[in-house]
Amino acid sequence: MPTEPDILRALAAVRDPDLHRDIVALGFIKDLAVAGGVVSFRVELTTPACPVKDQLKEEAERAVAALPGVTRVVVTMDAKVSGPDPASRKGMLPGVRHIVPVASGKGGVGKSTVSANLAVALARSGARVGLLDLDVYGPSIPAIMGIVEPPQVAGDRLVPVVAHGVTVMSMAFFMKPDEATIWRGPMLHKVVEQFLTQVEWGELDYLLVDFPPGTGDIQLSLCQMMPLTGAAIVSTPQDVALNVASKAITMFERLRTPVLGLIENMSYFICPHCDQREDIFGHGGARAAAAARNLPFLGEIPLATPVRQSGDAGVPMTAAAPETPLAKAFYGAARALAAQVSIRTAAGADPAIAVTF
């Protein structure tokens, strides 16, 4: 019969490729039990959206099954997202593990579409996800997420709306058309503060923030108000070519907010009639720009009519047709983003861990 130390020794051969340590040293193995030849344990990952979840499960199973006397291995995959010390946020958002802005150098690159799909993908992977729409110039998250009812007010607190499994709050709920143009820095700062202090966000693993395009007051306010885990930058291939995305990256660097990676949206076009691929704006620019800046590349999303249609219909692709290649592109980017959050967190907790960017 294998003993617990035997089993742990076997499991120590399984390494998390993102965190560069074995799953025993990382403390992932829980509830290890041996009954006759049956070995059971739980693998507790740092995110339910782990890109190598299936791989780790398989390797753990195989490593233990190879031990003499083992007849069956029962592995349960689980996850617990840990975050920075909530005290670092001065009492704001105590239940939120990670705040992750989604930003772009300019408007119209699909930032809101990508934010909504990333949020839904993370939620459907099992994470607790919030989406805060801070785009004063064109708040579109309620439309993309199909929200028609405004949030409820409970005393002096706002109760966010839950759509497609995501807890949503948006500037759109409080704006009259054309109001944005007259807002100034201090007003915007106040609004950001209210969204952080008066909204019942509850317990969240990830709070994605749809920033306004560019590098303005809202970005400055949020980055200065509390530490953010890091930003995802959305750009089109053309946008990268024109150096627009660089401005957003430089802004985050100045504000000491890490950039978790780049997502190339409208990366290429698949003709719905002939299935021919067309690189309308060029392709691969964001991947190259990420490599040049030593930043992670999180994925490419094709330009495709169903992405727009699903957004217009209020049901993001990731919820409307999760099994399609299009939705899978978003799921892949969401997993890559979650992995970068985990890498950052592990690096913060233990500086000895090498960070791969």
Ligand X SMILES: Nc1ncnc2c1ncn2[C@@H]1O[C@H](COP(=O)(O)OP(=O)(O)O)[C@@H](O)[C@H]1O
| Chain residues in the site for Mg ion (CB under 5 A) | 112, 135, 140
Residue count at the site for ligand X (CB under 6 A)? 17
Q: Which sign, positive or negative, has the C-alpha torsion 114, 149, 94, 81?
A: negative
Residue closer to ligand X, measured from CB, 108 or 186:
108
Residue closer to Mg ion, measured from CB, 140 or 235:
140
Of Mg ion, ligand X, none, which one does residue 108 interact with (CB within 5 to 8 Å by kind)?
A: ligand X
Of Mg ion, ligand X, none, which one does residue 348 interact with (CB within 5 to 8 Å by kind)?
A: none
For residues 181 and 179, give the distance between their C-alpha atoms in angstroms, rounded to a whole number: 6
Binding of ligand X by 216 (CB under 6 A): no
Of ligand X, Mg ion, none, which one does residue 266 interact with (CB within 5 to 8 Å by kind)?
A: ligand X
Q: Which sign, positive or negative, has the C-alpha torsion 286, 351, 51, 202?
A: negative
Binding of ligand X by 111 (CB under 6 A): yes
Which of 142, 311, 314, 316 forms a contact with ligand X (CB under 6 A)? 311
Binding of ligand X by 304 (CB under 6 A): yes
In terms of Cα–Cα distance, which of 96, 99, 280 is closest to 204? 96
Binding of ligand X by 30 (CB under 6 A): no
Q: How far is the CB of 136 from ligand X (least distance, A)?
A: 12
Backbone dihedral region for residue 335 (phi beyond 0: left; psi -120 to 50: alpha; all else: beta) = alpha
Alpha helices in the chain (DSSP H): 4-11, 53-65, 111-124, 141-144, 185-197, 217-225, 237-241, 244-254, 285-292, 305-312, 317-320, 325-349
CA distances to 206, 275, 281 from 272, rounded to whole Å, are 34, 6, 18
Binding of ligand X by 337 (CB under 6 A): no
Binding of ligand X by 109 (CB under 6 A): yes
What crossing angle do the helices spanning 244-254 and 285-292 adopt, rounded to 10°? Answer: 30
Q: What's the token pair of residue 240?
A: 């990268």
Binding of ligand X by 112 (CB under 6 A): yes
Binding of ligand X by 286 (CB under 6 A): no
Of ligand X, Mg ion, none, which one does residue 11 interact with (CB within 5 to 8 Å by kind)?
A: none
Q: Which stretch binds ligand X (CB under 6 A): 27-35, 103-111, 186-194, 338-346?
A: 103-111
Q: How far is the CB of 253 from ligand X (least distance, A)?
A: 21
For residues 225 and 230, give the distance between their C-alpha atoms in angstroms, rounded to a whole number: 14
Q: How far is the CB of 327 from ligand X (least distance, A)?
A: 11
Binding of ligand X by 266 (CB under 6 A): yes
Beta strands 166-170; 129-133: pairing state: parallel
For residues 235 and 223, give the distance between their C-alpha atoms in angstroms, rounded to a whole number: 20
Q: How far is the CB of 311 from ligand X (least distance, A)?
A: 4
Q: How far is the CB of 137 from ligand X (least distance, A)?
A: 9
Binding residues vs ligand X (CB under 6 A): 104, 107-113, 140, 265-266, 301, 303-304, 307-308, 311
